[in-house]
Structure 1
Amino acid sequence: MPRSLALSNDLRIAVARLSRRLRRAVADETLGFPHMSALGTMQKCGAITLQELSTKERVTPPSMLRTVQGLVDHGYVDRTPHETDGRKQLLVITDEGQQMIEETRRRRNLWLATQIDALTPDERQTLQQAARIMERLAESDA
């Protein structure tokens, strides 16, 4: 059994709670986490098919179809014909979608920065070190 089991439990809980708190700071409160996650992936990847988006988000295509339809209904995503395969469509973020993502990021960063500013200098330094370590953990293959 790993020696750091208690620490891993504490860290997992803290990360989950912080993540939930940050998810509440959105520019459009009618959207849930799946919508924001899909938009973020589309922003990072550019034009993408539903199948590719489903794979990247690790959800089934029918589930992603419902998520994408909500984004289309809000005007945050457009469907365009695929350049080489007439059976497929590409999903593209609209300007309104881009603005909503940027505003959400601004709100989340502002909330978190305000919380960090309330910490002591030593706590901020510790948090900076922890951020680098957490990034390394997130990118590990093990």
Structure 2
Amino acid sequence: MTIGDDEALQLVISLHRLTRSLRKASTAGSLQLTHVAVLALLAQKGPSRIGEIAAWVPCSQPTATSAVLGMEASGLIRREPDPTDGRACRVTLTERGVAALAGLARGEAEVLARRLASLRPDEVRRLVEVGPLLRRLAEATD
């Protein structure tokens, strides 16, 4: 089965709305969206240069640099020399950054669990079954 652009658009809008509403309802903290994206990418990909972060988020390199400086000041990440290029640095997560990301995810999961409790068991089962498919779509390359 294929879906059209309108159906895909509605799905994207629904996913964005769900993510935003989970974030707003969660009491796990108030990290900026760019910071969350950077922390999640560092957790997934490991230590990275600022240019790589900018490409992944995506954002401009100055925006990535600003985000890195703010997160470094908060103790969420640290910069260290790049072992392959002494002129560059790599950004890596700190224990505090890992904990912040985990806390955010747990807070959003708690909100989602409360909302899922309002659905019928068959609806919850269908949503849980779609999780691996969403993960595959998130990891797909075009």
TM-score bucket of the superposed structures, by smaller chain: 0.7 to 0.9
Deviation at 1:90, TM superposition (A): 1.1
What's the CA shift string for 1:49-101, capped at 9, x where partnerless? 11111122222211100111110111111111111211001111111111111
Residue aligning to 2:62:
62
CA change 1:129–1:28 in 2 (3 A) is closer
User: Could you tell me how far apart the structure 2 residues matched to 1:54 and 1:101 are?
Assistant: 19
Report the residue type matching 2:12 in the other structure: R
Determine if contact 1:26/1:103 at 8 Å carries over to the other structure: no
For 1:72, the aligned partner's letter is: E
- Residues 138 and 82 from structure 1, CA distance in 2 versus in 1: closer, same or farther, beyond 3 angstroms? closer
**2:84 is the counterpart of 1:84:** yes
Shift, 1:138, TM fit: 4.3
3-state DSSP of counterpart to 2:87: coil
**Aligned residues: CA RMSD:** 2.2
For residues 22-64 of structure 1, the C-alpha deviation after alignment (integer angstroms, 9 at most, x for no partner) is 23336331x2100010011011111111111112222221110
Distance 1:55 1:17 in 2: 24
SS at match of 1:87: strand
1:1-142 matches, within 5 Å, as 4-24=4-24, 25=26, 27-29=28-30, 31-138=31-138
Tell me the distance in 2 between the aligned counterparts of 1:137 and 1:83: 33
Aligned pair in 2 of structure 1 residues 86, 113: CA closer, same or farther (>3 Å)? same
Percentage of identical aligned residues: 26
CA distance in 1, matches of 2:84, 2:6: 52
Query: What secondary structure sits across from 1:21 in the alignment?
Result: helix
TM-score, scaled relative to structure 1? 0.84
The answer for unaligned runs of 5 or more in structure 2 is: none
TM-score (norm 2): 0.84
Count residues with an aligned counterpart. 140
Is the 8 Å Cα contact of residues 80 and 90 (structure 1) preserved in structure 2? yes
The amino acid that maps onto 1:60 is S
